[in-house]
Amino acid sequence: MENDRLLVIVEDDQDFARTLKRSFERRGYAVLQADSHAALVDLLSVRKPSYAVVDLKLGTESGLLCVQTLHAHDPAMTIVVLTGFASIATAVEAIKLGASHYLAKPSNTDDIEAAFARTAGDPSTPLAPRATSIKTLEWEHIHEVLKDSDFNISEAARRLGMHRRTLARKLAKRQVS
């Protein structure tokens, strides 16, 4: 019974992880936290969660490795990938590796819990492209290049043709949709 509502949050941003943990605890979940793949492996050696929320970028690590580990540990686990680095490539890989859902930040507890409850796809989802701004397109392109350069800011800046400090400033800003 304990494992029915046992959730693991794999997130390196301690403030966000703490906020998410409190929110899920208020909803009746028992919540475990890990901030890296190594911490997750240690946690899984003694616990078996039913749910997982995994950040795609964990410092210099990829959360995709955590998704793969979680799925191998329990193929029935519901895994939601949460990311500010959304791209089609990482969404496809996350699903292939065992994630149930892929949500772009900002997402809240309601969004994540709704993803936990969805067990099937929705064929009526509209195919119309979403409206987007130039800033959003720039943000998505920067993050795609950053992902392709293994989150190396200097290499991503070189590929984008901008100074490393300029890229660092852009990354420090929060995206506003």
pLDDT 10s digits, 105-158: 778 888 899 888 887 666 666 655 656 677 777 877 888 888 888 888 899 999
Q: Is 142 helix (H, G, I), strand (E, B) or coil?
A: helix
Q: Is 9 helix (H, G, I), strand (E, B) or coil?
A: strand
Domains and CATH numbers, the chain: 2-117 (3.40.50.2300), 134-172 (1.10.10.60)
8 Å CB contact between 97 and 67: yes
Q: Parallel, antiparallel, or unpaired for β 61-62 and 57-58? A: antiparallel
- 117, containing H or E segment: helix 109-117
Q: What percent of the chain has pLDDT over 90?
A: 45
Single-letter code of the amino acid located at 175: Q
8 Å CB contact between 57 and 31: no
Q: Which residue has the higher pLDDT, 2 or 105?
A: 105
What's the rounded mean pLDDT across residues 157-169? 91
pLDDT, position 86: 72
At 47-76, the pLDDT tens digits run 999 999 999 888 888 899 999 999 999 999
